């Protein structure tokens, strides 16, 4: 057993052989010879290296090194990562049901999940969890906190809370239960009898949750529906097909896959007529809509079932197979590509032609793999949206069922482009540092009975400014960042006194401009304050109903288009 972990590296490559269908006799690859080399290097290094080797880290580094030469979606999951992946796809776990975070170095309840043990027990947003099972949480990590709060259904956990406005600590004995994470956090009726459904993920229950929402909206006899897939990172392929099937007739192609091995070539069709297959449909997407979201949006667009609005989607169209390996760990391996009904491949990145890629010799570039060299980023920066997102120059052309032109090259290009207003640095920092959240926690201690139709007036704004001062809130504008570089250059190069004086003057001017940022962001700040107060007092659904759908400018524009049938239909006709 001494060298058990070492041979995992060899096993990884053997799995690749099985998945990709590479034969032992492959003259180009000569995989068995290579694996013998890997095994020999690993064993000899372990036996002869001068210092003790952490075998686990050594092995994981070898695995990581191999997989880094492939595409960024092929990954090795440690047990905790694999467990988290299963939670995200299953949409459920066993615990108390709270969203937690580290705020001011203290473990804090961000929000209790409605209907869970934590919610029923009375935990509130802003509660500081100072002890778990009598032990201090000072210095605890998020992973450590999750480990302590999660546990088998029916088991008991005691947490100690420090709550704003309460002089003493409060102990809660909470019995854990199965916690379901909603894929549809909100649905409802908007103006002009238009329905709205927010789909935030594709887990095992997404199709059922969507059907339930549509059933209820159909009972209201809605005239149209807006499906919101913005910032939905995707999930299970089967659920993408099921969600698409809610809007399409039976036997419509949703997506197909192509891989190196023929058993990866599959077609996925709708099984029966959708619950909402005839009335107007608009799908909202953005740069954060990926994978399963792109399959749904692409199928709806290609079949001319509805209009897609927003920004070009992420462009994640690689199929991964999940293979459990040793001790609760797993490999996620790219085995195929997604293609939507028009023939477009969703995948944006030219992952085969990276200079560091070990698979460049395995494949030759094809027309479908032309030189699109967008770099992959796991997180979308909402503050920077590429100007080229709507540029289709030189991209391959495909056609929808009605003969409308659509474009390949990765991602889904919307029928209606809508560029949201960019957040300025103040807005970003207020969100990043949780200032709206902290204010809501503080403010609602003394204002529990405010009406749901309250507005953020000058008195509330003044209280918010006071909180920013108390918390020593500060931020640096982009202009200040650039000026800081100039100051450093001045010191290095010993600029003249007159130049330094000019720099000082510019600093003073920028500080004056910074004071005006609050007024420039007034609308955003009012909405942020109201959003968090409503969420704190009345929960997620009320936050959507009272704030989000009313202040979301893109959603309001979509509502205008849906309310004008002639305008809406014009987007579905080939020029």
Q: What is the CATH number of the domain that holds 148?
A: 2.30.42.10
pLDDT category at 212 given cuts 50, 70, 90 is very high
Q: Which domain holds residue 520?
A: 425-554
Q: What is the mean pLDDT of residues 8-36?
A: 57
Angle at 556 between CA 550 and CA 557, to 5 degrees: 165
Regarding whether 301 and 170 lie in a shared domain, the answer is: no
pLDDT category at 353 given cuts 50, 70, 90 is low
Residues marked active site are found at 291, 302, 316
pLDDT score for 358: 53
Residue 573 lies in a domain: no
Q: How does DSSP assign 416-441, residue by residue? A: EE--PPPP-HHHHHHHHTTHHHHHHH
Neighbouring-strand partners of residue 323: 331
Residue 361 lies in a domain: yes
| Cβ atoms 273, 249 nearer than 8 A | yes
Given 14, 34, 67, the domain boundary residue is 67
Regarding whether 306 and 268 lie in a shared domain, the answer is: yes
Residue 575 lies in a domain: no
Regarding whether 164 and 52 lie in a shared domain, the answer is: no
Regarding whether 408 and 271 lie in a shared domain, the answer is: yes
DSSP strand E in 286-360: where?
Answer: 307-310, 318-324, 330-339
Regarding whether 158 and 217 lie in a shared domain, the answer is: no
Per-residue pLDDT tens over the stretch 455-476: 999 999 999 999 999 999 998 8
Residue 80 lies in a domain: no
Regarding whether 244 and 228 lie in a shared domain, the answer is: yes
Residue in 283, 428, 260, 252 with CA at minimum distance from that of residue 352: 260
Per-residue pLDDT tens over the stretch 516-540: 899 999 999 999 999 999 999 999 8
pLDDT score for 67: 87
pLDDT score for 81: 80
Regarding whether 304 and 204 lie in a shared domain, the answer is: yes
The token pair that represents 444 in the structure block: 């609602």
The token pair that represents 300 in the structure block: 């709806």
Query: For residue 340, is pLDDT > 90?
Result: yes
Q: Is the pTM of this model over 0.95?
A: no
> How does DSSP classify residue 374?
P
Q: How many CA atoms within 13 Å lie on the side-chain side of 27?
A: 0
pLDDT score for 24: 44
Q: What is the CATH number of the domain that holds 351?
A: 3.90.226.10
Neighbouring-strand partners of residue 224: 194
Regarding whether 139 and 36 lie in a shared domain, the answer is: no
Regarding whether 438 and 300 lie in a shared domain, the answer is: no
> How does DSSP classify residue 112?
E
Query: How many domains, the chain?
Result: 4
Number of Cβ atoms within 10 Å of the Cβ of 310:
28
Residue in 549, 559, 553 with CA at minimum distance from that of residue 192: 559
Query: For residue 128, is pLDDT > 90?
Result: yes
| Cβ atoms 444, 534 nearer than 8 A | no
Residue 294 burial by CB count (10 A; 0-12/13-18/19+): exposed, middle or buried? buried
- Look at 79-83, 163-167, 369-373, 501-505 and tell me which has the smallest mean pLDDT: 369-373
Residue 74 lies in a domain: no
Q: What is the mean pLDDT of residues 276-295?
A: 95
Regarding whether 505 and 392 lie in a shared domain, the answer is: no
Residue 568 lies in a domain: no
Report the C-alpha gap between 183 and 200 in whole angstroms: 5
Regarding whether 265 and 131 lie in a shared domain, the answer is: no
Residue 476 lies in a domain: yes
Residue 407 lies in a domain: yes
Q: What is the mean pLDDT of residues 164-186?
A: 91
> How does DSSP classify residue 78?
P
What is the Cα 483 distance to its own chain's centre? Answer: 34
| Cβ atoms 232, 238 nearer than 8 A | no
Regarding whether 161 and 229 lie in a shared domain, the answer is: no
pLDDT score for 271: 94
């Amino acid at each position: 057993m001494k060298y058990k972990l070492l041979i995992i590296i060899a096993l990884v490559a053997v799995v690749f052989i099985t998945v990709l269908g590479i034969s032992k006799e492959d003259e180009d690859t000569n995989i068995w010879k290579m694996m013998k080399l890997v095994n020999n290097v690993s064993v000899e290094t372990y036996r002869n290296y001068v210092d003790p080797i952490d075998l686990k880290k050594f092995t994981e580094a070898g695995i990581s090194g191999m997989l880094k030469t492939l595409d960024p979606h092929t990954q090795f999951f440690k047990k905790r990562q694999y467990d988290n992946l299963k939670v995200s796809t299953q949409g459920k776990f066993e615990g108390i049901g709270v969203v937690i975070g580290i705020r001011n170095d203290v473990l804090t309840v961000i929000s209790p999940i409605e209907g869970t043990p934590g919610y029923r027990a009375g935990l509130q947003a802003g509660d500081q969890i100072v002890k778990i099972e009598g032990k201090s949480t000072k210095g605890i990590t998020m992973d450590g906190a999750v480990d302590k709060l999660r546990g088998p259904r029916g088991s008991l956990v005691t947490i100690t809370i420090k709550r704003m406005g309460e002089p003493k600590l409060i102990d809660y004995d909470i019995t854990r239960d199965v916690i379901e994470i909603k894929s549809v956090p909100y649905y409802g009726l908007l103006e002009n009898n238009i329905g709205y459904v927010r789909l935030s993920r594709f887990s095992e229950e997404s199709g059922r949750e969507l059907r339930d929402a549509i059933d209820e909206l159909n009972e209201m006899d809605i005239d149209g529906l807006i499906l919101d897939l913005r910032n939905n990172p995707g999930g299970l392929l089967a659920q993408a097909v099921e969600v698409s099937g809610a809007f399409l007739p039976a036997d419509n192609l949703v997506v197909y896959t192509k891989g190196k091995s023929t058993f990866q070539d599959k077609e996925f069709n709708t099984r029966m007529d959708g619950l909402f297959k005839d009335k107007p449909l608009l799908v909202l997407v953005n740069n954060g809509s990926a994978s399963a979201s792109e399959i749904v949006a692409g199928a709806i667009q290609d079949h001319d079932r509805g209009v897609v609005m927003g920004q070009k989607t992420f462009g994640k169209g690689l199929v991964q197979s999940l293979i459990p390996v040793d001790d609760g760990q797993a490999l996620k391996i790219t085995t195929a590509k997604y293609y939507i009904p028009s023939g477009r491949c969703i995948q944006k990145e030219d992952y085969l032609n990276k200079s560091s890629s070990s698979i460049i010799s395995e494949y030759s570039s094809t027309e479908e793999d032309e030189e699109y060299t967008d770099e992959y980023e796991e997180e979308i920066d909402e503050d920077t949206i590429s100007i080229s997102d709507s540029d289709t120059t030189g991209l391959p052309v495909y056609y929808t069922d009605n003969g409308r032109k659509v474009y390949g090259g990765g991602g889904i290009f919307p029928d209606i482009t809508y560029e949201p207003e960019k957040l300025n640095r103040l807005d970003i920092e207020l969100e990043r540092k949780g200032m709206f959240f902290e204010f809501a926690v503080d403010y609602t201690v003394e204002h529990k009975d405010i009406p749901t139709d309250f507005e953020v007036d000058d008195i509330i704004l003044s209280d918010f400014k006071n909180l920013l001062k108390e918390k020593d809130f500060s931020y640096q504008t982009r202009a200040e960042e650039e000026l800081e570089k100039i100051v450093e250059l001045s010191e290095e190069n010993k600029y003249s006194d007159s130049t330094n004086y000019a720099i000082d003057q510019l600093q003073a001017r920028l500080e004056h401009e910074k004071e005006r940022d609050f007024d420039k962001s007034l609308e955003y700040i009012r909405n942020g304050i109201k959003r968090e107060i409503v969420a704190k007092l009345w929960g997620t659904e009320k936050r959507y109903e009272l704030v989000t759908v009313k202040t979301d400018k893109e959603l309001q524009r979509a509502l205008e288009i849906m309310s004008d049938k002639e305008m809406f239909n014009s987007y579905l006709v080939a020029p």
